[in-house]
Copies of this chain bind each other. A is one copy, B any other.
């Protein structure tokens, strides 16, 4: 079956290699009746769907390099180990939010897991103008539960420190985030690309000291502030949806980091989807209502996040931080509420900062988003992207001054009326 030496899976070898594994065969049925297709549209890995007489399974295998770039950019197989460990913890902390794992082979970097059907990638759906019931609720709760329950607010601290040490081994994937998100967009790094019409704005951003300093402060927070286990790559391409169901996938960038990171990155991707709508509209203005829906999702994600975080603070605060012995047990529950509000304010500031930086790097760095890329006309694309860049700058630099998510969405709307090119 598997050997110590890594071998990439191919459609020809899948049945032979995975057929003997009970946990997979039980889901699929007889391997001789399996059919398989490679569906990996991500940047890093092989992904197969195997259909058998009794069901379907997703098989994800890391490659020893970045798939998008090739063997010239090596990347360790052990990212599958971190993804597996993150999925297990996410499933404990927010049951049902992530795919069920059937099988994990560390040496071969293979995870076999639940095939989500008829789910589609949320990013694609946002391009098509589709709405999803419960989307904001699931995502806001997922952030609150995984971020709270992976932190010293909740976990036994020795266990958190052990997990911190474990995920500190995911250094190469952190390195991608550290460089591609926080630094490369702000100078002429080799792998950057951007729509040519953006050049004047790009030049202005790269000359903007306050912005670059903000990006580096946020980079330091990402690299150092080991508050909780992050998903690490929670954009709308890491979310799968049906009309009524939402699931989160692909936590291979998992690491300990600041609580505001996942939710900030997530919101950034909604805000970019908002700005991209004119490029996908069936007719001018046809997506106006849909744009409003996207902004309502942004507001609801933050609202659900804070409500669930507050609920967990009041009911599951069993860790070493803000102990009840100092507050509730002394009849001073109000102080615990004040502390919660101060913590949420810190998460809020970080969230907006990470949000702004993510909007820049998805427009100026290596990894872009389909919503922008699939706008064929350069000028039309640049007009959308420019708005995202301007909002991103306002959020990253002005993050201490926003007092509600409606201020963010109001500013998003105001910027959407402008032409910056």
Interface 9-mer from A292-300, A318-326, A375-383: A318-326
Cβ B187 vs Cβ A171 within 8 A? no
CB closest residue in chain B, given A329: B187
A224 contact from B174, B186, B223, B226, Cβ within 8 A: B226
Cβ B321 vs Cβ A152 within 8 A? no
- Given A209-B338, A321-B216, A342-B217, A161:B174 Cβ within 8 A: yes
CB closest residue in chain B, given A331: B207
CB distance from A88 to the nearest CB of B (A): 19
- Report chain B residues within 8 Å CB of A157: 171, 174-175, 178, 223
- Given A165-B164, A168-B161, A325-B183, A213:B330 Cβ within 8 A: no
Q: A318-360 vs B: 1/0 string, CB under 8 Å?
A: 0011110111011010110011001100000000000000000
| Residue A231 interfacial (CB < 8 Å) | no
A175 to B320, CA, bound (A): 9
A220 contact from B165, B223, B321, Cβ within 8 A: B321
Q: A168-208 vs B: 1/0 string, CB under 8 Å?
A: 11011011001100010011010000000000000000110
A220 to B216, CA, bound (A): 22
| Residue A283 interfacial (CB < 8 Å) | no
Q: A14-33 vs B: 1/0 string, CB under 8 Å?
A: 00000000000000000000
A226 to B164, CA, bound (A): 10
CB closest residue in chain B, given A179: B320
Cβ B223 vs Cβ A342 within 8 A? no
| Residue A225 interfacial (CB < 8 Å) | yes
Assign chain A's interface to a size class: 35 or more
A168 contact from B168, B215, B335, B343, Cβ within 8 A: B168
A332 contact from B171, B209, B220, Cβ within 8 A: B209
- Report chain B residues within 8 Å CB of A166: 165
A35 to B286, CA, bound (A): 91
Cβ A320 vs Cβ B178 within 8 A? yes
Cβ A323 vs Cβ B183 within 8 A? yes
Cβ A325 vs Cβ B168 within 8 A? no
Which residues of chain A in 201-244 are interfacial with respect to chain B, using CB atoms and an 8 Å cutoff? 206-207, 209, 212-213, 215-217, 219-220, 223-227
A226 to B327, CA, bound (A): 27
Cβ B165 vs Cβ A320 within 8 A? no
Cβ A213 vs Cβ B338 within 8 A? yes
Q: A136-160 vs B: 1/0 string, CB under 8 Å?
A: 0000000000000001100001100
19 contacts between A and B (CB under 8 A): A157-B171, A157-B175, A157-B178, A158-B172, A164-B168, A164-B226, A168-B168, A183-B320, A183-B323, A187-B329, A207-B330, A207-B332, A209-B332, A216-B323, A217-B339, A220-B343, A224-B225, A224-B226, A225-B225
